[in-house]
Amino acid sequence: MNTPSNLKYGKTDEWFDPETGGIGLSDYAQDQLSDIVFIELLVEVGDTVEVGTPIASVESVKASAEIYSPTSGKITEINDALAETPEVLNSDPYGDGWMVKVEAGKLGEVMDAAAYTKYCEERDQ
């Protein structure tokens, strides 16, 4: 499982990059979902989100899942390319698989990489 140390992670498996404001789906989550075949972004540039606001919905061959914002803030950018290439969420979840960028406000309950790795390992037992 890949968990970059510069990111923060939510218990609902989203990552947040405090430096860029990027939000996406963690490597653990994409692995659990399996092959992602569809994504719908539920927010637009200029929208204000609160912690826990649904920002996207993804569907895979195994399941569907809501993606929630781990921070409050204003949406500054959306990764529109994901609509055409949702499989990027599987192949590059921390790079080209980012979903939205926010001008971050208050962070929700997030973990560092070590705590998130431990949390995921505990769920797999």
List the domains of the chain with CATH numbers: 22-108 (2.40.50.100)
Provide the pLDDT for residue 104. Answer: 75
Neighbours of 124 (CB within 10 A): 8
Neighbours of 65 (CB within 10 A): 19
Neighbours of 35 (CB within 10 A): 12
Provide the pLDDT for residue 106. Answer: 86
**Confidence (pTM):** 0.94
Nearest C-alpha neighbor of 100 from the set 49, 27, 60, 33: 49
Q: Would you place residue 95 in the very low, low, confident or very high pLDDT band (cuts 50, 70, 90)? A: very high
- Looking at every residue in the chain, the average pLDDT score rounds to 95
- Contact predicate 3/117, CB 8 Å: yes
pLDDT tens readout for residues 7-50: 999 999 999 999 999 999 999 999 999 999 999 999 999 999 99
75 has a pLDDT exceeding 90: yes
Which residue type occupies 92? D
